[in-house]
């Protein structure tokens, strides 16, 4: 099993990241992808919504694929089933990113191996919002 980065590494990448692509974002407020993306946007990150069924999300342009996103991406945050991760990995390798993040409940060790081989940080089965709250904005 591929281990997740330690807290110090996670804190550094969350502090340094600015642009987060949310693959599988929903326009339904009751969905985790919507709530996480909205939290991250409100925390100051630039959100890049990725969903071929959307043209906009919360007033932002939505992109059908990672390849359609202009410029660099710091974190690719994935809300897709584990079996749907391999094509996202392929797209991430082509696009480039610093961190590839599989949300809570999503893990695919075999699929992410090429990312790790390329030196890309991989986080699996963790919620970006929860980790941000825990490491960056802990309760007072």
Q: Is 42 left (phi over 0), alpha (psi -120 to 50) or beta?
A: alpha
Query: Would you give the distance in Å from CA 26 to the centre of its chain?
Result: 14
Q: Which long-range contacts (CB under 8 A, 24 or more apart) does 113-120 make?
A: 113/2, 114/89, 115/89, 116/2, 118/93, 120/92
Count Cβ atoms below 10 Å from residue 75 Cβ, excluding itself.
Answer: 25
Tokens at 94, concatenated: 């082509």
Could you list the pLDDT tens digit for every one of the 140 residues in the chain?
889 999 999 999 999 999 999 999 999 999 999 999 999 999 999 999 999 999 999 999 999 999 999 999 999 999 999 999 999 999 999 999 999 999 999 999 999 999 999 999 999 999 999 999 999 986 65
List domains and CATH numbers for the chain: 7-135 (3.40.50.720)
Distance of CA 85 to the CA centre of its chain: 12
Distance, first Cα to last Cα, the chain: 35
Predicted pLDDT at 1: 83
């Amino acid at each position: 099993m591929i281990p997740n980065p330690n807290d110090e590494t996670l804190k550094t990448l969350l502090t340094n990241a600015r642009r987060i692509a949310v693959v599988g974002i929903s326009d339904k407020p009751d969905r985790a992808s919507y709530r996480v993306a909205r939290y991250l946007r409100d925390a100051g990150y630039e959100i890049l919504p990725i969903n071929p069924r959307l043209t906009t999300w919360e007033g932002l342009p939505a992109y059908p694929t990672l390849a359609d996103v202009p410029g660099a991406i710091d974190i690719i945050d994935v809300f897709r089933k584990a079996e749907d991760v391999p094509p996202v990995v392929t797209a991430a390798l082509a696009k480039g990113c610093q961190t590839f993040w599989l949300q809570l409940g999503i893990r695919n060790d075999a699929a992410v191996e090429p990312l790790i081989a390329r030196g890309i940080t991989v986080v699996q089965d963790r919620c970006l919002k929860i980790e941000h709250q825990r490491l960056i904005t802990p309760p007072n």
